[in-house]
Amino acid sequence: MSKRFGKWKAPTFDKNGLTRWHWMCQHPEKLKLGKSVDIGAFSYINAEAGVVMEDLVQIGSHSSVYSVSTIDGRTAQVVLRRNARIGSHSVIMPGVTIGENSMVGAFSFVNEDIPPNVLAYGVPAKVVRELTSDEIASG
């Protein structure tokens, strides 16, 4: 683990699901966080159907992760694999798995699985290319 996370501790939630880092989670009892997960301020997580974030996941500020969508009725667990990195202002929809080491660019809408070790972005997010070993190691 990097020096940045040397004193990392799992978040606690107030009665409204808000953390001291100004991100919130509805149904935090269904949120499973690995070690050294970094979630940016003003992000929102709906974990009603389950959200799993493995070790070293990073989520940029103002992002949303939905395990339930009231718009299209989808309900399914979301999984962010080890070292997945999500850019600011991105939206992850129900049932999506982001593969290990993959990066999702800022302002992306992810409604399908992203395989491991790739860069994906857009609306909707599409795989653009594989990541280099240097890009994977810098995560």
pLDDT in tens, 74-99: 999 999 999 999 999 999 999 999 99
Assess whether pLDDT exceeds 80 at residue 2: no
CATH number for the domain that contains residue 35: 2.160.10.10
Give the tokens for residue 25: 């989670």
Assess whether pLDDT exceeds 70 at residue 1: no
Q: Is residue 41 part of a domain?
A: yes
Q: Is residue 11 part of a domain?
A: no
Assess whether pLDDT exceeds 80 at residue 8: no
Cβ-based burial of 18 (10 A; exposed 0-12, middle 13-18, buried ≥19): middle
Instruction: Give the number of domains in the chain.
Output: 1
Structural domain for 26, as ranges: 18-137
What is the structure's pLDDT at 126? Answer: 98
* pTM to 2 decimal places: 0.90
